[in-house]
Structure 1
Amino acid sequence: MIRSGLRIILALFYLGAGILHIISPRGFLAITPGWVPFPETVVAFTGIAEIAGAIGLIIPQSRKWAGIGLALYALCVWPANFNHAINGISLGGQSLGWWYHGPRLAFQPVLIWLALWVGNVTDWPFRKSR
């Protein structure tokens, strides 16, 4: 029951983020590290990946692969979050402090695990002992 609820919440989160990547890419482009080639294309594709992952989480036959894909996605975009934090990049004229960046960076591994858990890739740490 909890896993199903969190799966829906995560799917809605990624659906919303994916739509934002496509319709309003400026903020995502601003935090994209300079070494990323073709940043506009990468941001658009990340939006598509988020939307596909969100849909995949809801469909039982694709759930496992969506969980793996979203976990890898969260790992791959982590450098943008570090770039945002370390370089103090302001978005919309507003700079976010470490009160935002600290928890955001620390939560990324949890987000990776959550994608794997709601995607039924792992049962850790809830696996029952034999």
Structure 2
Amino acid sequence: MTGTPHRLPAALAALLGGAGVLHFVAPRPFIGIVPRSLPRPEALVALSGAAEIGCAALLAVPQTRRVGGWASAALFVGVYPANVSMALRSTARGSRRPVWYRVVAWARLPLQAPLVLAAVRVARRA
């Protein structure tokens, strides 16, 4: 994610805000990727959705942008195990996921690093 100093926080806020809302509007896909070793997937999805909305709000306000950037970076790192779980489950024996889903699931993994770096950049520039 690149852009001017004002566009990057707005882009991250939009991404996080949209994803956060989806956690509440359509939670099933998110519940399905919570690692099986974690308890109460429904509660974790609600918690991560609220965290995403909170990070989006922090990024949207210049006075809280530094905290929002660091919180967003931590959140991106924290949800990474769910992305790994999604990728692994998509190619597990017996999985009936279509090929496009498998490609997206695995392609998401390296995309997390630029998101973390973008959030750190926002925090440092704030």
Q: Does the pair score TM above 0.5? A: yes
d(CA) in 2 for partners of 1:18 and 1:32? 15
d(CA) in 2 for partners of 1:39 and 1:22? 13
| Shift of residue 107, structure 1, vs aligned partner | 1.1
| Shift of residue 73, structure 1, vs aligned partner | 0.6
The one-letter amino acid paired with 2:116 is: I
- Segments of 5+ residues of structure 1 without an aligned counterpart are 124-130
- Segments of 5+ residues of structure 2 without an aligned counterpart are none
d(CA) in 1 for partners of 2:37 and 2:118? 28
Moved beyond 2 Å, runs of 4+: 120-123
| Shift of residue 101, structure 1, vs aligned partner | 2.9
> Alignment partner for residue 124 of structure 2, among 98, 121, 124?
121
d(CA) in 1 for partners of 2:97 and 2:107? 18
d(CA) in 2 for partners of 1:33 and 1:104? 16
> Deviation per CA, 1:20-76, whole angstroms, max 9, x where unpaired?
011211000001101112211111011111111001001122111111111111101
- Normalising by structure 2, we get a TM-score of 0.85
d(CA) in 2 for partners of 1:102 and 1:29? 18
Identity of matched residues, %: 34
The residue aligned with 2:5 is 3
Is it true that 1:77 corresponds to 2:79 in the alignment? yes
